[in-house]
Structure 1
Amino acid sequence: MLIAPPKSTVPPLALTGVLVGQWATNALFTAIDLDIFAPIKDGQTTASAIAKKLKLDEKGVAVILDGLVGMQLLERKNGGYNLTDVAELYLLKSSPLYLGDFFAFGRGPGAEAWKSLGEVIRTGKPKQEVNKEETAEKFFPDLAAALFPLNYTTAAMVADELKIDKLAGAPHALDVAAGSAVWSIPMAERCSNLKVDALDFPVVLKVAERFTQKYGVQDRYQYLSGDWREVTLQPNSYDLVILGHILHSEGAAASKLLLDKLQKAVKSGGRIVIAEFMPNEHRTGPLFPLLFAINMYLQTSDGCVFSVAELKSLLESNGFHEVKRLDLPFFKGESPVVVATKK
C-alpha cells in the first residue's frame, strides 16, 4: 500500500537546508565563544593542539572544526586547519573588524524581536519602532558600533569605485543617519580635502565621533544633531549625500520625503549614494533581503525593502537621474549600493 501520493517524490531538501542553517549559526556562535580561531592563527592547527591549548574535548573540537570547514570559514591544509580570509578578518578578536559585537547583538536584542513574529503578524503591531527617536536612542548606539565591521569593506569598495580620491577642490558630503559613520569614513580616508557633515540622533553621533577619531579623520567632520525631519540643510550645499541603510527603516512614504529634502541640498551634478538590501523585482530572492523585510516588519511601523526598480522610481521622481547599481567585487551582480546624480 502506498503511504504517500506519487507527487511526494520531491525530497524536503529546502526544509533541511533551513534546519542546517540553524545548526550552522549555533556552531559558529559556539566557536566564537570558545575562541576556536585564535589558536589557529597562533600556529596550533590540529584538533588535538587546539583542544590542548583551550582545555577542551578533542572530539568536540574536531567536529566543530570540520563544520567550520563546511561553512568555508576554515580550510584543511597539511593535516591541519587554516583560517580563511573571512575568518581572519572578522572572527579573530584581535582584528579591528572583529564581528563579535554584531553576533552578540543578533543573539540578544535581535533574536528577542524574532521570537514575537507570530504575535506581530496576528496583531499587525511591530515589536518596537526603532525608527522613532525615543526607541532609536536606546537601540542604535550599540548596533551602530557593532555594524561598523560588517559594512567597512563594502564602503571602502564604494569609495574606490566612485574614485573619491580624485575629487578636486573642497568637496562637501552629508552622511544621513550616519551611525558609526562607516559609509563616509573610507571616503574621508581616501580624500584628504573632503569635509563631511554627519547627521543622526545625539546619542548615536557619539558613536560616529568615536570611530572618526579611531580612523584619524575627526578633523574633517561636523555633526548635525537631531531627526532628519527637523534638521535644516542649506540648499545646493553638498557634492555627495550618503544614505547608508536608512530608507528601509523609514518606509516608502518617508523615504520619498527624505529624498525630496536631500535633492534640494545637493548641488547640480552632485551624487547620492544609497546602501540597501535589495530583492529582485519579483520578490523571489535573494534570501537575505526577503528575510530583512520581515525584520523591518517586526521592528518598525512602516519599514520595508526596496528593489532597484523601486529605488530608481523614487530617485527619478525626486529629481535624480543616471541611477545605477554599482558593480562591486564579491557581490556577483547583487551589490547593495545604488548611485544617482542630481540633474
Structure 2
Amino acid sequence: MTDNQPAPDGVLRLINGYWATGVLGAAATHSLFTHLENGAETADELATRADIAERGAQTLLDGLVSLGLVALHAGRYRNTPEASAYLVEGKPASLSSFAKLKLKHMGALVALPDVVRAGGPVTDPTTEVADNPHWEEVVPAIAAQSVPAATIAAEVLGLADAGEVSILDVGGGSGIYSAIWLEANPAARSTQLDWEPINAIARRLLAERGVADRFTCIDGDFHTTDFGTAKYDIALYSHIAHQEGPEGNVEVFTRLRNALKPGGAVVICDYVVDDDRSGPAFPLIFASEMLLKSKQGGTWRQSDYRDWLVKAGFEDVSFHSAPPATLVVAR
C-alpha cells in the first residue's frame, strides 16, 4: 500500500454491514441494552441475566463497542447515550423491537441487483394488504420511530395551546401521533383512517395511554375513502408519501386540502432529500427500500413537496428538521 492509497477498512466495514444488523438485532433479542441499563457491567453478568452463553455475551459486547453503541471503561461496559435513549426496552422512543424486526428482513436485499435492473420489485409485494398478520408485529415495532417527530410537530403547530382542534391522521398505523398530540392537548380530538386490523392496534395503544375517549377510527383504504370537506383543523400524512408517485401524492394532498377547515394545516412527515440529492444520508439510502418494495415510490426532494402542495391548493409551505425525517407543514 502506497502512502497515497487509502486503507480498505471503511470499504470492508460497509461490505460486511450486515454484521451490524445481526449484532444489533441479536443484542435487542436478548435485551442486552436493558440489562446494561439496569446495572449489568460485564460479560458474565450479562450472560447470567440474559440466560445466554458468556462467549456469546462477550462477542455481542465486542460488536456493540465496535458499532459505538456500548462504551468500555476499566473493564466495565455501559450504554452510550444513544443506546440508552433508543434501545432500552420500555422507553418511549425505544427501537429495540424494530432492530429485531430488521434482523428478519436482511435476506430481501439479495434481490436488489435484479430490482435495480428492473427499476422496481421483480415480484408483487405481498405485505400491503389489510389482512396480513404481519401488521401485529410491524406496526408496534415501528411506532417508536415517530415519537421524536410527533413531539416536534406538536411544538411547531403550537398544539398545546390550540384549544378544541380536530385532527385527521391518514394511514396512522399505531396511532402514535394521535396519542402524543392528544396528550399535549386535552381538548383535541383525532380520527385515524387506516385498515381495520391496523386501527385495532391503534385503539389498544390509545387506550393504554388513556386518551381513547377522544380517538375514533375510520376503517378503509385512504386511496378510495372520502376524507370529507372542511371537517378538520389538522391533517397528518406520515411516512406514506415515499410509497406513492408524484400524481398519487398530488391527488391525496388535494383531497386533504379540501378536508381542512379554512386556515387548517397539513403535516407531512417523511424522509426528504435536498434538492440536489446530496443529503441527508439516511433519506438517500432509504431510497433502496422503496425500490425494493414499491412500484413508484422514492425519497422525494423538498422542491417536489413544495410543487405538489402548491398544485393541491396550499400557499404556505415550510420545512422543519426532525432527524432523520423532515416535517413539511402547509397551509
Report the TM range for the smaller structure's normalisation: 0.7 to 0.9
User: What SS class does the counterpart of residue 235 from structure 1 fall into?
Assistant: coil
Residue 211 (str. 1) matches residue 205 (str. 2): yes
Q: State the Cα distance separating 1:154 from its structure 2 match.
A: 2.5
- TM-score, structure 2 as length reference: 0.88
Q: State the Cα distance separating 1:15 from its structure 2 match.
A: 2.0
Pairs within 5 Å for 1:192-341: 192-328=186-322, 331=323, 335-341=325-331
Contact 1:181 1:211 in 2 (8 A): yes
Structure 2 match to 1:36: 32
Q: Separation in 2 of the partners of 1:200 and 1:61?
A: 41
Q: Separation in 2 of the partners of 1:62 and 1:228?
A: 48
Pairs within 5 Å for 1:91-240: 91-95=87-91, 97-108=93-104, 110-124=105-119, 126=121, 127-129=123-125, 134=129, 137-138=132-133, 140-168=135-163, 170-240=164-234
Q: Separation in 1 of the partners of 2:309 and 2:268?
A: 10
Per-residue CA shift, 1:44-76, capped at 9, x if unaligned? Answer: 212343345446555653453243234332233
The 1:327–1:249 alpha-carbon spacing in structure 2 relative to 1, beyond 3 Å, is closer
Q: State the Cα distance separating 1:155 from its structure 2 match.
A: 1.3
The 1:216–1:128 alpha-carbon spacing in structure 2 relative to 1, beyond 3 Å, is farther
Q: Alignment length, in residue pairs? A: 330
The 1:82–1:161 alpha-carbon spacing in structure 2 relative to 1, beyond 3 Å, is farther
Per-residue CA shift, 1:197-238, capped at 9, x if unaligned? Answer: 100111211111111111111111111111113222221111
Contact 2:195 2:219 in 1 (8 A): yes
Q: State the Cα distance separating 1:313 from its structure 2 match.
A: 1.2
Contact 2:146 2:176 in 1 (8 A): yes
Residue 23 (str. 1) matches residue 13 (str. 2): no
The 1:73–1:9 alpha-carbon spacing in structure 2 relative to 1, beyond 3 Å, is closer
Q: CA RMSD in A?
A: 2.8
Contact 2:25 2:102 in 1 (8 A): no
Per-residue CA shift, 1:301-341, capped at 9, x if unaligned? Answer: 2211111121111111211122111144xx3xx64211111
Per-residue CA shift, 1:59-100, capped at 9, x if unaligned? Answer: 653453243234332233464122234333433344455433
Q: State the Cα distance separating 1:268 from its structure 2 match.
A: 1.9
Q: State the Cα distance separating 1:14 from its structure 2 match.
A: 4.8
Q: State the Cα distance separating 1:34 from its structure 2 match.
A: 3.4
AA of the residue aligned to 1:338: V
User: What SS class does the counterpart of residue 116 from structure 1 fall into?
Assistant: helix
The 1:336–1:139 alpha-carbon spacing in structure 2 relative to 1, beyond 3 Å, is farther
The 1:141–1:176 alpha-carbon spacing in structure 2 relative to 1, beyond 3 Å, is farther
Contact 2:239 2:270 in 1 (8 A): yes
Q: Separation in 2 of the partners of 1:122 and 1:236?
A: 45
Runs (5+) with no aligned partner, structure 1: none
The 1:31–1:131 alpha-carbon spacing in structure 2 relative to 1, beyond 3 Å, is closer
Q: Separation in 2 of the partners of 1:65 and 1:335?
A: 30
The 1:81–1:291 alpha-carbon spacing in structure 2 relative to 1, beyond 3 Å, is same
The 1:204–1:33 alpha-carbon spacing in structure 2 relative to 1, beyond 3 Å, is closer
Q: State the Cα distance separating 1:140 from its structure 2 match.
A: 4.1
Q: Separation in 2 of the partners of 1:69 and 1:7?
A: 29
Q: Separation in 1 of the partners of 2:130 and 2:107?
A: 15
The 1:66–1:312 alpha-carbon spacing in structure 2 relative to 1, beyond 3 Å, is same
Pairs within 5 Å for 1:48-87: 48-54=44-50, 58=54, 61-77=57-73, 79-87=75-83
- TM-score, structure 1 as length reference: 0.85
Identity of aligned residues (%): 27
AA of the residue aligned to 2:72: R
